[in-house]
Amino acid sequence: MSIMYIILLFLRISIYISPTVLAKKPLNNARVTYIVHVQREPNMASFSNKEEREQWHKSFLPTTTTAGSGQPRIIYSYNNIISGFAARLTREELEAVKNKNGFIHAIPDRLLHVATTHSPGFLGLDTSSTGFWASSNYGKGVIIGVLDTGVTPDHPSFSDQGIPSPPAKWKGVCGFTSATCNNKLIGARTFLEGMNAVQPTDTAQEPYDNNGHGTHTASTAAGMFVENANINGLATGTAAGMAPHAHLAIYKVCHDHGTCANSDVLAGIDQAVQDGVDIISASLSGGSANFYEDNNAIGSFSAIEKGVFVSFAAGNDGPAYKTLSNEAPWIITVGASTMDRYLTSTVVLGNGDAIEGQTAYQPQSFKPIPLPLIYPGFTLSTAATCTNGSLDTINVKGMMVVCDEGDNDLAEKGSNVQNAGGVAMIIANFKGDGYTTTASPHVLPAAHISYNDGVSIKAYISTASAPTATILFNGTLLGVTPSPMMASFSSRGPSKADPFTLKPDIIAPGVNILAAWPFSPGPTPSIGANFNLDSGTSMATPHISGIAALLKAVHPNWSPAAIKSAMMTSADITGNDGNPIADYTLEVADYFGTGAGHVNPTKASVPGFVYDLDPASYIPYLCGLGYTDANVTVVVGSSVTCADVTPITGSELNYPSFMVFLTLSNSYTVTVNRTVTNVGDATSTYSVKVIEPRGSSVTVNPETITFSGENQQSQYSVTFSNSVGGTRMAAYSRGSLIWASSDGNTTVRSPIMVAIVNNHNVSLNGLNMMKYAQRLSPFETNLQLPMQVLQLLLSMNMSIICMILLFLRVSIYISPTLAQKHGNDARVTYIIHVQREPNKASFSANEERKHWHTSFLPTTTDASSGQPRIIYSYSNVVSGFAARLTSQELEAVKKKNGFIQAIPDRLLHLATTHSPSFLGLDTSSTGFWSSSNYGKGVIIGVLDTGITPNHSSFSDNGMPSPPTKWKGVCGFTSSSCNNKLIGARILLDGMNVTQPTDTTQEPYDNNGHGTHTASTAAGMFVENANINGLANGTAAGMAPYAHLAIYKVCHDDGTCSGSDVLAGIDQAVQDGVDIISASLAFRSLPFYQDDWAIGSFGAMEKGVFVSFAAGNKGPSNSTLSNEAPWIITVGASTMDRALISTVVLGSGDVIEGQTAYQPKSFEQTPLPLTYPGSTLSTAATCTNGSLDSVNVTGMMVVCDEGDNDLVDKGNNVKNAGGAAMIIANYEDYGYTTIASPHVLPVAHVSYNDGVRVKAYISTASTPTATIFFNGTLFGVTPSPMMASFSSRGPNLADPFILKPDIIAPGVNILAAWPISPGPTPSTGPNFNLDSGTSMATPHISGIAALLKAVHPDWSPAAIKSAMMTSVDITGNDGNPIADYTLERADYFATGAGHVNPTKASVPGFVYDIDSASYIPYLCGLGYTDAQVTVVVGSSVTCADVTPISGSELNYPSFMMFLTTSNNYSMTVNRTVTNVGDASSTYSVKVVEPASHQ
């Protein structure tokens, strides 16, 4: 194999070898790129230009070399860091070059392939002059109000370039003092009084987003264009919101620490309507409730009355049925869908069968040759899942090992296989996981395959005499079918609030959505304008809100119902395979998941006709729900007498979908009417086609609709009947009603769901039918009757309800202080609904209205607490107020004339992450940032996939001009560099000759990895960075005022050649950088064969500090990359956050666990506790179907880890009737617990705690338990901890050098990204979360820049020494840094320890090394003269020097080898240089290694 591969390191990223390049050995006449090292010409200095040097290098080519292919033979002529060139040569030509005088060495070029995601084209939105974006003017003039956690005003997603002034109707204000709103971000307000009344905080707080969720959702809806957005190398493109030129108005209704009060939310809706918004976007849900008890529904009704479109999330409680939130028909309820990307690894069996799987580790060095194939489960059943130690007695050396899913982490299986000598792995799903495969960051070649494919492989192994297999890596595939697919977490119908309305309404992209974020959620600040990836119906909702803005711009007179109808009737119902949209099971997704289908913005702009609804139409509907007059009055805001109207069901509402209930009687029919309004061609005709639901007959009258004018209305009726008599059908069946225009250009489609109720004798209608509907089981799934929210609260002894701010894998919990019933004298916030005062119009000011509302308070109301009793006086969306009242005062209010209803306030708690303070960097005048001047004047060169130049991370506000030594250029034509981003080059000629591409390509980052690492190193401050509600704060790189120089050495499609990387190092040195940051790793190589070691030596000689990643192949030992001692080799560490759920046993024992689903509605009362494994061993892990014969109804179920996905366990427990779950680790998982987005209350506990729980169950007569949710805890101990994936030593290239050198934050790092990796564009400057030593490396690079700014004369070795000798070696618990096992991490993992920037600035003294000192060291490695010459770039004769070992190098660490002889000793010398106080004395203390002196 003549081409080796480089790994561009980022965790969970697809990396693969191109089979067309690597699967075959090159023929003699096949040209391959080699990096050729030659001796320096004595008169080399006389080369006055590049052409002369290239001519010198061409002299090494044989005279027979031809360039008939048209490709250049010399690709690069290197000068600064090596003497040599890169050339395309055949084998014969290479042999001729080797015979030339001056030739030293030739190294084959190396390639890297990484995965990218989609552009906004997934939703059909592009910037062409004929597209919907253009026709809608990108949403100009429309105002979107976002209710969330605030916004990051300075984020480039919210730039107002090209945005006009807001409409004259706008009445909002800008609630920032230090940041200015603009024509994009036209207003921002804070509503936290309700929260302050419960948990007093700073009432002057401004609407900055210090959490993330709000910035993410706002930018998804209407963020501006930001080029080259990406996240950690997975996705690259131009980021933009759905309506890039729409205005944004922000309503911060959630506090910085992640808590929201429903009173504040309602105040936000109220104010948004008054301010003049056109669209309200709210990514919130709180479970099903009667509409008169649902403040979201109540506030939204008044909003739609005033023409405001309202978009809410369906919820993240899927895939279980009847889990929806926000079911009111005047709201559009949004579900979430996936994208079409797959990270492919193909298993080829010895019999020729090819099986597709997935993996995010696709090593270039893996040879696709047949390997012996073994399934250890055939030999030993306990070895089937490849747990730790299970393979000890089975020979798997040199084999490909099949491991069943379950019992341990997928990546851990690979570690166990590798430790046992296996060289590759296939992970086979259990039946319950079906076709759900995962691309994980394995430590060896792997393929995660489906259950059926696993069965096929095991059958082949059992029948073949000598089974073999190999794996081919195909990288990232786009256009994977089927897509879109339903997201498993997306909440499903049917609607509990009204089974006669089909919900959700629509689905939109909600999986892996990249959008703006205020700051890094990790233990260190991100750099500049941050981006982050998130999933949930929270992410789908703003897509719909933004598309609604586009429609409003095109059709300003359309009502909210018309906009909703246009989206629903034009939705896509098939995937890219032409089949109906699939569920995550690969079965057809039902309408309780998809609603009308997947949004199609362009088709929605020309829907033909719409189903319009005025607000008055909802009154008979609400009366038809059986609500009292008072109930309906609460919703509609004016007095209603239901006796005066004819009630209707949801089926009869003029809705764009049909939900109908029939009986088994043939004589029972249901007829509903619809009125449609022409919004298409003035003269048009539509004919109907019906796809009848199974077992039903559907008749439409008339079958043709003809319009003769715009906005003309027409009516039709639909009659449904049972077509199968008394035959019992499935509970629900689906169909469609489709109107097609005569010109063939337009179809208007409505989904139909029909339910057949098992009743022969009763003709059902209205409320009688609803009672049956509420008991009906969708698809034979048992469903409970809906519970009223207030009843649930009373049963929980709670006066506060919790709302769920939806984002996948986010901690949401009820504050334990609120989980107790308040006494009569305890004040609680209530939202009081009152009748509207007849002379309300006379209220000229808020004070008058507040005075009116105060009149409802009893005269004995005491305000001695100092807190205001009236918190809000609402006027626009409800008639009423929010007040703090005792239970006695509430009873008095209820007796006042005009009182309607009081609803307790509801709270939401989100999980947040850390600010830059984790590393001790802050903006105080005495901090290290200040003393280092934030890195001003230092130039960091980043070698990666390019950059996003317009990202706010790379703003130059306050930046000086670059130093005069700077010689770089700006390689952009349409984008200017600045004083932050001082230069950018593209170096892809090596790649172009292998895979010819556009040679004029610019250094934009269309991948993401480069933007992420550059912004981590030196991004500017960006306030309110966050990611999907997990983390809030100000983002900044390690050296926010350092300059950045970018060297794009990886292609847009994610391919990099080693020659290009070396050219990047060479050019960076010539341009004048001070620091080189390269998040790359390959494997251990002799230094003379390691281009990076060679290039970095040349850089170090010229005073350039070089930082490289250790690699992501841990936790196995001897897996390091970049081991040369002149490079700083960086490992990765974790942070100190946990999402806590506490199990309280009936015995009183308290056990801590983790979960990312902490529902507000969970009754914290003792539940029966059961461990099904004690009854049936096969049920221990709660696999699909295993609980069928075990009674778990209403119980808390203990499930062992393994055999299936953690979330799948919860689905199985819930489907079996269980109410909560405890997941107990296996012994080899120890204390590693996961916070997963479960579908029911859960605590994932350690192995030891699991043993305790099971022991209690086995001894107690009636075991019980409950779970309390404690949300996000910070300061969790121990931290930092070693990341499991971080590569470990010992150093294979030189065992006498201790590597890695240092560790830095590399887990859950949030940083800038160019585009959304999801199926739709993100909005504005994107942010994304990523993990890997790729993320740790730029932290070290940025800190090196700070040190260089303070100590400009320090050498690279001095900077490295300062960091290594000042590290932290203990965690926040005061103990040595722990490994992920909770055991003490060894130095082969941590190196010197965890970086401490402030301490590194004053190290006392340093261990310095000049470049000449490495020559005896290299000779001591046993290298030949020629090999040493390759590394150092000048002629060396080892016989002339005294060789030394790595132990004798003047290094800041010691790696010693001794013998068992007492007579053997080893002495090494060190030279230290004082960089501290001029007069200083140091005394030594030695902590001796065990058994040594």
Give the amino acid at 485. Answer: M
Q: Which residues contact 524 (CB under 8 A, 6 or more apart)?
A: 914, 916, 918, 919, 921, 1038, 1304, 1305, 1309, 1339
612, 944, 1200, 1203: the active-site residue: 944
109, 148, 407, 1408: the active-site residue: 148
105, 113, 118, 213: the active-site residue: 213
Q: How far is CA 965 from CA 79, 977, 1341, 1354, 1356, in A?
A: 18, 17, 20, 17, 18
| Measured distance CA(844)–CA(848) in Å, rounded | 7
| Measured distance CA(1212)–CA(1406) in Å, rounded | 59
| Measured distance CA(330)–CA(567) in Å, rounded | 14
Give the amino acid at 941. Answer: G
285, 450, 538, 733: the active-site residue: 538
Told to judge if 651 belongs to the known catalytic residues of this protein, a careful annotator would answer no
Give the amino acid at 917. Answer: S
Show the tokens assigned to 1444. 């030394």
| Residue 711 CA, distance from chain mean position | 44
1100: exposed, middle or buried (C-beta count within 10 Å: 0-12, 13-18, 19+)? Answer: buried
Radius of gyration of the chain (CA): 33
Helix spans in 464-528 (H): none
Nearest to 1176 by CA among 1189, 1165, 1195: 1189
CA atoms within 13 A on the CB side of 1344: 36
| Measured distance CA(1084)–CA(1304) in Å, rounded | 21
| Measured distance CA(491)–CA(804) in Å, rounded | 13
160: exposed, middle or buried (C-beta count within 10 Å: 0-12, 13-18, 19+)? Answer: middle
| Measured distance CA(815)–CA(825) in Å, rounded | 20
Return the number of other C-beta atoms located less than 10 Å from residue 1306's C-beta.
Answer: 37
Told to judge if 1238 belongs to the known catalytic residues of this protein, a careful annotator would answer no
Show the tokens assigned to 193. 């009084």
1009, 1043, 1238, 1394: the active-site residue: 1009
Told to judge if 118 belongs to the known catalytic residues of this protein, a careful annotator would answer no
Q: Which residues contact 1453 (CB under 8 A, 6 or more apart)?
A: 1297, 1298, 1301, 1364, 1387, 1391, 1392
| Measured distance CA(71)–CA(548) in Å, rounded | 51
SS3 1106: strand
Tell how strand 1220-1224 and strand 1022-1026 pair up.
unpaired
Tell how strand 1137-1145 and strand 1150-1154 pair up.
antiparallel
The answer to whether residues 1076 and 943 touch, using CB atoms and an 8 Å cutoff, is yes
The answer to whether residues 1297 and 1468 touch, using CB atoms and an 8 Å cutoff, is no
Angle among Cα 639, 280, 814 to the nearest 5 degrees reads: 85
| Measured distance CA(209)–CA(213) in Å, rounded | 8
| Measured distance CA(1182)–CA(1179) in Å, rounded | 5
Q: Which residues pair with 833 in a beta bridge?
A: 880, 901
Told to judge if 148 belongs to the known catalytic residues of this protein, a careful annotator would answer yes
| Measured distance CA(1073)–CA(1276) in Å, rounded | 39
Told to judge if 1334 belongs to the known catalytic residues of this protein, a careful annotator would answer yes
Return the number of other C-beta atoms located less than 10 Å from residue 340's C-beta.
Answer: 20
Nearest to 1125 by CA among 870, 1391, 1328: 1391
Task: Provide φ and ψ at 122, rounded to 5°.
Answer: -60, -35
Supply the DSSP string of 195-250, one letter for each residue: HHHHS---TT--SB-SSSHHHHHHHHHHPPPEEEEESTTS-EEEE--SSTTSEEEE
1077, 1334, 1355, 1453: the active-site residue: 1334
Q: Which residues are catalytic?
A: 148, 213, 538, 944, 1009, 1334
